[in-house]
Structure 1
């Protein structure tokens, strides 16, 4: 339900190659493109500096809009690769951008600045399947059940970490965005006064930030703070279906020794029975490995083992190998 009388529709053209949070779905209804979602100043470019102020809300500015949602109910955050959404193969994000997904919440009065965030959801590597792979399967939707929060105004912040280049320090790609929600109902759970400052939440050398997804590792430690629990425990999501694809060839990096991460978890709440999944047109088949077809967009994948897409980059950018499994279109020196 929308509570603002003004619908902000303006959004700048995004640089191709990645993803942004663009709308809410509540009670099965899409609330409108950009409604109550802070448009990022960074477009859909990744954040590489984990201490950047963009780690708060990706440079987005508060709007007059809010989406109403009942305490303890489900809310879905819809992401797309392009703005507006297209049917390209990288919709909603490139398949290569495997990694974890987290969701945080904060009091809206904070503007997301300082130690104000609580993590309410996380999903990493489960039964060989990454959270981002499941996110692609679900057409770019991140659905969480809110804690039984006290009524009020909140910011909700979904986050994706793409690890396809993260074997090197400082190469993990962070994508986040903030939306504005008004929680209704009779919930009584208050957010703690002390939370996490997103500019200090991660280190470039954290085990879950610097990570080689090509090493054959079967476990992954989700970085950042522990889950906030409104009633003292976390609730597991449905178990992931194991991937049927063959395991990637190991690289020279040693597999992580961290304990296996749990299935997707979040702060407990009363779940709603259904979530609408909107339909999407299937993505077109990418070009042949010979470089036929449209040029690869800036920052898009242009090569790597078993890659069969286009290899020529747009706007005179060059295809640079990041590792044996991933080459990317980057600006020429």
Structure 2
């Protein structure tokens, strides 16, 4: 019951209907122009979510699956440095947030980059569970930062931010108590990593393919948590610490 009222309070917030994109990439303290380093997404006007975890658009949700990559610049970042994503408005909605990276082949600005089992997780932000309720850090954010793993080998990569929106029932756990109800907000930055190390990132997964849609962290009713609920289970692979 506590979980129900905690979520209800979030849902009743003034910006409950607000959706968002992640158009800006942050390097250190510098915020890029919209879509300078992040592939412009198909929802750049509508702000609408991706709901199918099996469609090719689930990878980066590009405006054009063939041409957007080549129209996007590639940022130079150092291994071990701080980077981030900035949304086009407050996120507000409860949800799970993570970042995955993929070694780009042949280059970060190629349409072929990110295909196959090349993705690994470098950051995640899970809700915490205490006193029978979930608390979602993402509801107070408009941007977030993380560290490029110090031991990541130099080279070109895609960096994919995903916020799985959870409000009412959802990962943007909103209507996620039924299959296909979760709402995903995605942005892929193109980067060239310099001063890297000799690590071996993993485990590697494919996108789409990383989720079935039936994972406990996706197919969840946060209004009515199970009596044996002990904590939120993040979907996808574990974080590679580098």
1:99/1:125 contact within 8 Å kept: yes
Matched, 1:66 2:74: yes
Q: Deviations over 1:153-197 (max 9, x none)?
A: 1110000110021111210111111001111114222445x7211
Partner Cα separation in structure 1 for residue 196 and residue 52 of structure 2:
40
Matched, 1:46 2:56: no
- Which residue pairs with 2:167 in the alignment? none
Q: Secondary structure at the match of 1:181?
A: strand
2:21/2:43 contact within 8 Å kept: no
- Which residue pairs with 1:181 in the alignment? 191
The alpha carbon displacement at 1:205 in A equals 1.7
The alpha carbon displacement at 1:200 in A equals 1.1
Alignment of 1:153-302 (within 5 A): 153-161=156-164, 162-191=172-201, 195-216=204-225, 219-230=231-242
Matched, 1:103 2:99: yes
- Which residue pairs with 2:120 in the alignment? 118
Q: Deviations over 1:193-249 (max 9, x none)?
A: x7211111112221111101111556211111222232xxxxxxxxxxxxxxxxxxx
TM-score, structure 1 as length reference: 0.55
Partner Cα separation in structure 1 for residue 147 and residue 22 of structure 2:
18
1:165/1:171 contact within 8 Å kept: yes
5+ residue gaps, structure 2 = 1-16, 106-111, 165-171
> Alpha carbon RMSD of aligned pairs, Å?
2.2
- Which residue pairs with 2:87 in the alignment? 79
2:39/2:72 contact within 8 Å kept: no
Runs (4+) off by over 4 Å: 127-131
Q: Secondary structure at the match of 1:215?
A: coil
Q: Which has the larger radius of gyration?
A: 1
Matched, 1:37 2:38: yes
Q: Secondary structure at the match of 1:135?
A: helix
Distance change in 2, residues 1:130/1:29 (3 Å): farther
1:49/1:170 contact within 8 Å kept: yes
1:100/1:130 contact within 8 Å kept: no
* Count of aligned pairs: 200
Partner Cα separation in structure 2 for residue 108 and residue 114 of structure 1:
11
